[in-house]
Structure 1
Amino acid sequence: LIGRGVVDCKGQIAALLGAVELVDAPCQIAFVVDEERTALGSREVQVEAEGVIVLEPTELRPVIAHAGAIELEVTVYGRAAHGSAPHCGENAVLKAMRVIEEIGQLPFLAQTHPLFPPAPWVTLGKIEGGFDTMVVPNRCTFQMDVRVLPGVSIRTACEQLFALVAQHGAELTILDVSEPSEVDAQHPVVRALVAAHEAITGERPTPCGYYSFTDATHYLQRGFPAVVYGAGSLGVAHSDHEWVALEELEIAARVFAHVIAHWP
């Protein structure tokens, strides 16, 4: 299947609806809103459960840990001057580039976690500065997403960010924060999902970490053990060529059905 939303998350929903058609055992299904922004749905939905499976593209691997995230905006100030005399001013765009590079070298970003392979932990999503080639920019603003591994304190990360930005006389605004999270690999909901995948595919899956926020983080914070599972790759979500293999969706549907039918 090819199209916007087929892997994140319409295909996963179709697999779940197919799963409940295969079994008579009871289960609860909650469709919640706004996961991409405030995730208000998973914060507020009224549910009682022994375990939660959140649907996301995980390449059919159980996700038991989530990186947290800090979305931020930094405004860097320079000094305007004539474009032919840049030495008479201070270029805020160049200054911002140095701040961006130094953020990527902060100590909390050097930490590791066994469930997360090494990866870039900082995404520069937007940058604006200057208005004419003949004016040295006196202001530059950029927005970033900074990932935080389980075991790293969000407070520590923010303290390091604020300290660095202050050294450059810039301003930092935190736009959004999500805490890193992790569920015990031996919890019944994780074990049930692993057993179901093995029963359907003949291969035992290896639990992994997830770079992105999902609703599982809120369920974990609310005391519901949660694991994430689904067909396809997160890397193609939100892209111009989003896709998911029908074969993987069929496997996901059968795995979900197995969990429902054999829940302790």
Structure 2
Amino acid sequence: MKYDAETFLMEVLKIPTVNGKDNEKALAVFLRGFLKECGVSAVVQDIDSRHANVVGVLEGKSKETVIWNGHLDTVPYGKMGEWKTDPSVPSKKNGCIYARGASDMKSGLAAMAYVLGRMKRKGYVPSRTIYFCGTCDEEKNGIGAKHLLETQTLGEPALLLIGEPTDLRPGTAQKGCIWLQVKLHGKTSHGAYPGQGINAVEYGIRIFQDLKKKLEEQSHELLGSPTCQITMAEGGIVPNMTPDTAKLMLDIRVIPGITTRMVTEWAQKIIDGYRQETDGELEVEVHIKNDRQAIEIPADSPWLKKLQWELKLAGLPKEPAGINYFTDASILTKGIPTTPVLLLGPGQPELAHKPNEYIEIEKYLQYIKILDRLF
């Protein structure tokens, strides 16, 4: 092969793919080139000038399929002064590689592509056909995963494996994410006579607090309770006037069993109560700006049991882990709802989106061995 595993990861990390800034398509083209050199059937799915997916297919002994998924993009570098190395240039030190995306999740992505290419090179035929899907724009709107569903016939895969950072622990449950935009219209008044107005900002906060309380009544063994926070807020005219308009964005992370429909119904019930309190003068609009469902694999899943066995043989923890962040699984499972989902990657979740992000080379190599043995 042209690259060994470590060199291949370095090459992947050299291609900047900051979401909203860089050309994510460049990495898709690079991965397609690598896979085709290895003899794997691979294509780039163009979306626009900067966005594309890459799909590689390794035929198996049966028509049954599995999907390996990772995303091409990274978050921005943040404050450059907080980095000890240049985040756009991979730097090796003390058994680790430092770069933006090293942990989240170019190490998982590179390992998947590398294993697929090496399997083909060796003439290995897996028991099931493997679809490697590198998707763009995961960090924002998930247009890559959505495009994949629209253009690729995925059938009913036996497994969806997501290479997101789990520190090589089996990720069996993942929180979903809802971005709920709340627009409020009240009534203005003189600041000295607040009782004559309807304070849109205050009612927005009360709606948020009530919804947050309702969500926190729920709980999950691995994921704990849902969370709800205000991440954006607008409102107010001048300091001495009751604000008659307000706009809030709520970031809600839900657990399995709680759907977007349930959350919107709870929100509407709360809103109806405050509308009644104001004799219908308070007007509230609710808009869903992001809708990613929670994911969970059954505890008795054969795939989970097999993975836990391989982790045990490797001397790694096999206890299930909960994942608080969203992944493209939340989008992909809408098109393949019966497919079980496992999250497993070599990166460490606590390093994601932070300065001095790195991947331990040994864990990256261990992940490659696990993929080899699982499939």
Report TM bin, short chain: 0.7 to 0.9
Equivalent in the alignment of 1:215: 328
Q: Is the 8 A contact 1:216 1:228 kept in 2?
A: no
Equivalent in the alignment of 2:294: 180
- TM-score between the two structures when normalised by the length of structure 2: 0.60
Asked if 1:227 is matched to 2:323, the reply is no
TM superposition outliers: structure 1 runs of 4+ over 6 Å: none
Alignment partners' CA distance in 2, 1:2 and 1:78: 51
Shift of 1:122: 0.8
Equivalent in the alignment of 2:224: 117
Letter in 1 for 2:166: T
Q: Are the structure 2 counterparts of residues 84 and 62 from structure 1 closer, same or farther at C-alpha, using a change threshold of 3 Å?
A: same
Aligned with residue 237 of structure 1, among 352, 355, 360: 352
Alignment partners' CA distance in 2, 1:191 and 1:242: 34
Equivalent in the alignment of 1:33: 136
Percent of aligned pairs sharing the same letter: 25
Alignment partners' CA distance in 2, 1:142 and 1:72: 8
Shift of 1:84: 5.1
Alignment partners' CA distance in 1, 2:366 and 2:245: 55
Question: Which stretch has the larger CA shift, 211-220 or 162-171?
Answer: 211-220
Shift of 1:164: 0.9
What does the per-residue CA deviation read over 1:172-226, in whole Å, with 9 as the maximum and x for residues that have no partner?
22223233232223333323332333333x1332112222322234444413322
Shift of 1:117: 3.1
What does the per-residue CA deviation read over 1:37-61, in whole Å, with 9 as the maximum and x for residues that have no partner?
1431453444464323111112322
How many pairs were matched up?
257
- TM-score between the two structures when normalised by the length of structure 1: 0.82
Equivalent in the alignment of 1:205: 318
Q: Are the structure 2 counterparts of residues 95 and 157 from structure 1 closer, same or farther at C-alpha, using a change threshold of 3 Å?
A: closer
Q: Higher RCO, 1 or 2 (CA under 8 Å, sep at least 6)?
A: 1
Q: Is the 8 A contact 2:177 2:292 kept in 1?
A: yes
Q: Are the structure 2 counterparts of residues 218 and 153 from structure 1 closer, same or farther at C-alpha, using a change threshold of 3 Å?
A: closer
- Structure 2 portions without partners, runs of 5+: 1-96, 275-281
Letter in 2 for 1:176: N
The structure with the greater share of residues assigned to strand is 2
Alignment partners' CA distance in 2, 1:74 and 1:219: 27
Alignment partners' CA distance in 1, 2:366 and 2:166: 16
Asked if 1:261 is matched to 2:357, the reply is no
Equivalent in the alignment of 1:13: 109
Q: Which has the larger radius of gyration?
A: 2
Asked if 1:43 is matched to 2:146, the reply is no
Shift of 1:163: 1.2
Q: Are the structure 2 counterparts of residues 233 and 203 from structure 1 closer, same or farther at C-alpha, using a change threshold of 3 Å?
A: closer
Q: Are the structure 2 counterparts of residues 72 and 215 from structure 1 closer, same or farther at C-alpha, using a change threshold of 3 Å?
A: same
Alignment partners' CA distance in 1, 2:351 and 2:229: 16
Q: Is the 8 A contact 1:121 1:146 kept in 2?
A: yes
The 3-state SS of whatever aligns with 2:287 is strand
Q: Is the 8 A contact 1:54 1:226 kept in 2?
A: yes
Shift of 1:21: 6.5
